Amino acid sequence: MLALTKKDLSLLLVVAVITLAAPIILNPFPSGSGMSQFNAGYPDLMQRFVIYGIFAIGFNILFGLTGYLSFGHAAFLGVGSYSAVWMFKLLSLNVIPAIMLSVVVAGLFSVLIGYVSLRRSGIYFSILTLAFAQMSFNLAYSVLTPLTNGETGLQLSLNDPRILDGASAATYPNLFGAQMNDSTTIALGNWSFTFSVGYYLCAILLLLAFYISIRIFRSPFGMMLRAVKSNQQRMNYTGLNTRPYTLAAFVISGMYAGLAGGLLASMDPLAGADRMQWTASGEVVLMTILGGAGTLLGPVLGAGFIKYFENIFSKINEGVLQAWFAFMPDGLQDFFVAIIYPFVGKGWHLTLGLMFMLVVIFLPGGLVEGGQRIGRMFRRKSRSETPDGKTTPAE
């Protein structure tokens, strides 16, 4: 089905079930309970999981397959956001034209940057992309103020022409009237689950993006991209021109970034220059490596992981910690709080950094490799248990 092998199809189905049921799965704790701060099932955060998942899937097509490490992909994310907001201002608050324009503009922009940067490989390529992204950031921040509204960021305003929208049209980005911030909350006992329009739009686009990525991985084109990573010399002497292959991968991943940028702007219609900053480019690199570069699922996992940390761990402040260790005697309580405090709240980067180091050192294949190892351990155990059971005398 869908021209996928059984294994890929089941992977896609698992991802589909998890994303579509995420508002339930991510809210395992009853609201109001002490653990409810670990719930991630609110629309704002779930949208970010999925949007950055799309961003990382695209980045992985470039980095995971060809090995070209771009440090400037946030530029395409930013360009996508600006394009979408302009579309909202000028044409219509319907998200479809906005998202389409983000993908196209980011694609064109990445042709330009890719064409120049791909003349070099390795560290020089990374530096070139970084330079281009910083240039874009500075342009957006100051020089191109008429286009980007500089420091303040591009926002919607009441005087926007919006030529396709009538007077009665929705005032928030919408899909044929269904506003992105519309949501329904269903309460089940102590639990409450929020289903939002915006999240489901993002989720469906994530599934589409994931499906296309599987198809690319399994195509002759994907095989050529892995060949580029493996041995460019052999490629050239086998009659293959590596340049268009790498450029195509670069543009595809740029378009994914543009889609992510357009979605960010659709969920919250403003675009700021800081979305293009190098830290944002670095973040997608971290996501991809943490999850497992070159694997299908890795980037999505990595994106979810980092966004969860960023939003949940950073909320644990000293008061919360004090409450956790309240059962201990005073001295011990202060001691534990003092030790853990630097790693949570504002210090969540420290935990993330440590985890990143552990993953890179012990699991070069990322979280996906970790999962595979655990899976193998269980399989080995169950296999060795069966013959053991037969040979050892009954107890």
Partner 1 sequence: MAILEVKNVGKRFGGLQALNDVNLSIVENSVHAIIGPNGAGKSTLLNCLVGKLIPDTGSVMFDGQSVLGRKPYEINQMGISRVFQTPEIFGDLSVQENMMIPCFAKRDGSFELNALTRVTSQRDILDKAEEMMVEMKLADKRHMPAASMSRGDKRRLEIAMCLSQDPRLLLLDEPTAGMARADTNNTIDLLKQIKEERNITIAIIEHDMHVVFSLAERITVLAQGTPLVEDTPDKIKGHPKVREAYLGESQDAA
- Footprint on this chain of partner 1 (rule: CB under 8 A): 3, 5, 212, 215-216, 218-224, 226-227, 229-231, 233-241, 244-245, 248, 252
Closer residue to partner 1, CB minimum distance, 5 or 31: 5
CB of 293 to partner 1, least distance (A): 13
CB of 123 to partner 1, least distance (A): 20
Give the other-Cβ count within 10 Å of 179's Cβ.
Answer: 17
Contacts of 258 (CB under 8 A, 6+ apart): 76, 77, 79, 80, 83, 102, 103, 104, 105, 106, 107, 109, 110
Are 284 and 264 in contact by the 8 Å Cβ rule? The answer is: no
Which residue stretches of 32-73 are H helix? 43-66
Closer residue to partner 1, CB minimum distance, 168 or 241: 241
The span from the CA of 17 to the CA of 218, in Å, is 22
Closer residue to partner 1, CB minimum distance, 243 or 379: 243
Contacts of 170 (CB under 8 A, 6+ apart): 93, 177, 179
The span from the CA of 184 to the CA of 3, in Å, is 35
CB of 68 to partner 1, least distance (A): 15
Closer residue to partner 1, CB minimum distance, 37 or 219: 219
Closer residue to partner 1, CB minimum distance, 219 or 384: 219
For residue 232, give the nearest of 222, 242, 224, 223 by alpha carbon: 242
Closer residue to partner 1, CB minimum distance, 134 or 213: 213
CB of 136 to partner 1, least distance (A): 26
CB of 122 to partner 1, least distance (A): 17
The span from the CA of 85 to the CA of 82, in Å, is 5
At position 167, the amino acid (one-letter code) is: A
CB of 249 to partner 1, least distance (A): 9
The span from the CA of 253 to the CA of 242, in Å, is 17
Are 49 and 307 in contact by the 8 Å Cβ rule? The answer is: yes
CB of 4 to partner 1, least distance (A): 9
Cα-Cα-Cα-Cα torsion 84, 90, 93, 95, nearest 10 degrees, comes to -30
Closer residue to partner 1, CB minimum distance, 132 or 217: 217
> Alpha-carbon torsion 165, 169, 170, 176, what sign?
negative
Please return the burial class of 59, using the count of CB atoms within 10 Å of its CB with bins 0-12, 13-18 and 19+.
buried
For residue 228, give the nearest of 209, 210, 250 by alpha carbon: 250
Closer residue to partner 1, CB minimum distance, 95 or 205: 205
Closer residue to partner 1, CB minimum distance, 75 or 259: 259
The span from the CA of 205 to the CA of 134, in Å, is 28
CB of 241 to partner 1, least distance (A): 4
CB of 9 to partner 1, least distance (A): 13
